[in-house]
Amino acid sequence: MRSRVLVVATIALAAMSGCAAEEKPQASGTGGAKVATLQSAAPSAAPSKASQRPRERLDTTPEEWELLMAPYYKCLREQGVIKEENGNAAKMVAVDPKTAAAYEAADKICEPQFMPLPPWEKDPANPEARDFAVGVVKCLKNKGVEYVEVSEDGISIAMGGDDNDAKSIRLGMQYMSECERQVAAKN
C-alpha cells in the first residue's frame, strides 16, 4: 500500500513539473530557488476564428460598419472580385455567371475569417436570440406596427405581412432601432 502511494505521488509530481511552462521564485530567504506553479501549467486555448472576427453592435454606425467590413473587402480585393474606384471605394465587379462563381469562391474564403458577426442579440449562436426577436416584435406592435412577426428563422423580423402593408413597413423601419435598444436594455 505504501509503495502504491509513493508511485502515485511520484507520477503526480512528475506530471506537474512536466506541465509547468513558467517558474516563479519562492519567498525571500530561499536562495532564489524556483518552483513550478499550477497556474502556468494550463495551456492557453487558441482563440477560434469566429472569436477573432469583429462583432457588429445594435448601435453600430454606418462609419463603424465600413471599418468592420474593411478586412472583408480587402480579402475580396485580394481574390480579384472587387475593385477600387478613386483609390478607396469598393465596387463589385459586374455580375455574370463567371464572376458570380468567382465571388462565391472568394466569399467562401473571406467570409469565415473577416465578415463581422451579427450583434449578439441577433446571432443564431445565442440561445436567447429568439426571445430578443419576440420582444422587438412586441415593442413594434405597441408602436402601432400592425403586420410584424418573427420570421421562420426564429431571429429575423418580417414586416408588412402578405400584402406588404406600406404603413407597417414604414413604422417598423422607423421604430426598429428604438425597439431593439429597449429590448436589449431590459436583458
Specify if 46 maps to a domain.
Answer: no
* Average pLDDT, integer, range 48-73: 86
Specify if 106 maps to a domain.
Answer: yes
How wide is the angle at C-alpha 25 spanned by C-alphas 19 and 26, nearest 5°? Answer: 105
Residues 66 and 34 placed together within one structural domain of the fold? no
Global pTM? 0.62
Specify if 20 maps to a domain.
Answer: yes
Residue 69 has pLDDT above 70, yes or no: yes
More confident residue, 75 or 48: 75
Over residues 151-182, the pLDDT tens digits come to 999 999 999 999 999 999 999 999 999 999 99
Residues 60 and 108 placed together within one structural domain of the fold? yes
How wide is the angle at C-alpha 160 spanned by C-alphas 157 and 165, nearest 5°? Answer: 165
Dist. CA 103–CA 130, nearest whole Å: 31
Specify if 49 maps to a domain.
Answer: no
What is the number of domains present in the chain?
Answer: 3
Specify if 86 maps to a domain.
Answer: yes
Residues 152 and 173 placed together within one structural domain of the fold? yes
Residue 183 has pLDDT above 50, yes or no: yes
pLDDT value, residue 87: 54
More confident residue, 12 or 127: 127
Specify if 50 maps to a domain.
Answer: no
- Residue 18's domain comprises 2-41
Q: Which residues contact 170 (CB under 8 A, 6 or more apart)?
A: none
Mean pLDDT score of the chain: 76
Specify if 48 maps to a domain.
Answer: no
pLDDT value, residue 100: 85
Specify if 139 maps to a domain.
Answer: yes
Residues 33 and 76 placed together within one structural domain of the fold? no
Residues 78 and 107 placed together within one structural domain of the fold? yes
Residues 151 and 110 placed together within one structural domain of the fold? no
